[in-house]
Structure 1
Amino acid sequence: MEKILIITDFKKAIPYESIITFYELNIINSNSIDSITEITEPVVIIDVEKVSDGIEITNRLRNINPSSNVLLINNFLSPAEHLILTKIKGYGKTKILRWRRTYPDEILINVQDLLHPEFPSKISDIAIIIPVYNEESRFEKVYNFIQKLKFLLDESFTNATIYFVNDGSKDNTQKLIDKLLEVEHEETTTISNYFQLNTYELEQNTRKAGTYLEGLRSINASVMIFVDADDSFEIGDIAKMINILNIGYYDIVVGTKDFSATNRSILRRLISFFKRLLTKPLLPKGIYDSQTGLKGINANCSKMLLPYLHDNTGLAIDLEMMYIAKKLNFRALQLPVKCIDQEGSHVNIVKDSIAFLKIILKLLTVNKNISLDKNDIN
């Protein structure tokens, strides 16, 4: 049986014995690092609170065995992982993982990747994230959209999962979602714990921003698609977005409905026009519309954006994402999509437009100094 060396300060209280069951574990307190004079284990897990301590321990072990394969486990997400790796000595493989209790198997997946990279342990997967808020009165539209998405997944993207993120609804939205999930779970015939529909629920309404952050924090996927729940978009455009992201060149694909939306009032068209003028300097090259409710990002992009996003930006979370993407030089594509502006929108055109202007000013001050080379990894 292969052995795994684990050096930990026990602060994360990770239940290694129940996660890594196929290997023999040698668990050592990080305070006893001086007692290690030889490393025979093919993989070393380093689980300590401070990143700088993790780097120091890794380098001390690499002085003993330069080819040691190391998995560094952090409690947070850092956009400066490349800087961490530049400070690590030796020539063994090094991986960095953010510990998430909702995804304990990530540790085992990474260990197996280090031990046996010739055997892929995880397929590329897709998450379709649907923010919802007080959708009871128009849940029929939500239901119809989910049926279309399930058809798309069954026919073309069997490795995809749909996630509702409930933005603190005050009505019976969550009960209706739970009924959908109950039916889904009853109909599932697989022996795994995989379900095509899943849900997360926020305690308070965040005007959309919190749903994006919850999705980015809690959901693990190679491609993430964020889409409005009200059956506004065609599944063909969603498929097109997934296919473009799967090619790997673009980090972000942003839908735009400004020239294709139907049922849109003249007032909304005018406001959209002026928003485009105001926000164009804040957007990545080639992007002129950030507010359409359909966009996709890849895993690397989501990991880098998350530390800079704020849950108090409300409906302008899309703009904040694009502004940060521009600062970090991500490749972005604007994709024209078909859209129907459905009745029952939660957008207050005047009030939300004023709030949008305030967020623009905030973005220019809070995030103006973003740079990957300036991140503190201590």
Structure 2
Amino acid sequence: MDKEIKMGLRHVLEEKLEAALITVTKVLGSAPRKPGAQMLVLADGTTTGTIGGGCGEAEARQAALQVLSTGRARKHSLNMTADIAEDEGMVCGGIMELFIDYLGQGNVSEQLILLENYLLSFNHGESPVLVTLTGSKQENIGQKLVVQRNNQYSGDLGLPILNRIALEQVLASRDHSHFSVVNLDEGFNPCDTKAEIAYQLLLEPPVSETKLVILGAGHIGLPLAGMGKMLGYEVTVVDDRPSFANTLRFRTADRVICNDFEKALADLVIDPQTYVVIVTRGHRHDKVCLKNVIHKPAGYIGMIGSRRRVKAMLAELQEEGIPAEKLEKLYSPIGLKIGAETPEEIAVCILGEIIKVQKEQTVSINNEEPQKMLV
């Protein structure tokens, strides 16, 4: 569940609104979104999030409004090979299986309280997995279980054996942290054939906040911060010049740090969900930043500069004892090659490369390292 959907659900629960949550559970053929994509629909028709846009999303929205009128969750098959989809220019040619959950006030209070506590747990630094029963021989479709990192859980899927299977599945998938669907037959055994499915569980892992750390508050850093925020990153800007590193200049950034680069980086948490861009005002500052982040497990480290300048800097760092294999993870010259010239265009090519790297890391189908730009 991404940040936008969480915020939407918090608003729904706080204001006691009627809402339906659409989740893509399966995709056949070519489709605009993958399993796990979600869209929240309110009773007035307003939406948060997207499952791909176009007439297909419009049909899903209508199905969600029907769920709101009946107060009952259900499944919906979205066939995008229909003539109407072609007329609208939406020719994905695939089928999306959807689960539309009813989250209004007609729901049992225990379920709403469970969802409230699930959302609150993120504020306390917890990383729960939400399990929802979306297919069942019984009338408990939409029942939920919230499993915490210590495997303690709250909620109930209606049957003890389903609770146990859910816990086992969460434990087995902890290291993968991706949305998944578990199909079970009447004997509670895994199955793939639609006709055999008696129970279906959706496992939604916590989505880590993706962070964009911009080292340098100059002409490139400014549009980079604004565009990064539009893409949903938590944006941090660092520079040692008060006239550049200030909240008046970077209104959309989550955090602006005016400090020496080395001191600022010592206090920043950089993890695999952190994407670092080095665009300082000079070679000396670039080198300081690179030395202080190259050993950290960042998902991406990119640095602006010509091939000649970057090559010379990497040689210096190797002489200073930084292993060549560490430096190989640097993306430089930074960004996709699109002929960018202006600061805004350069920001676009940098973010394009970050998105490319991020998607490769998410998929990781063949466990190969993402292709890097040559230095």
User: What TM-score do the two structures reach when normalised by structure 1?
Assistant: 0.25
Bigger RCO of structures 1 and 2 (CA < 8 A, at least 6 apart): 1
Which structure has greater helix proportion?
A: 1
Which structure has greater strand proportion?
A: 2
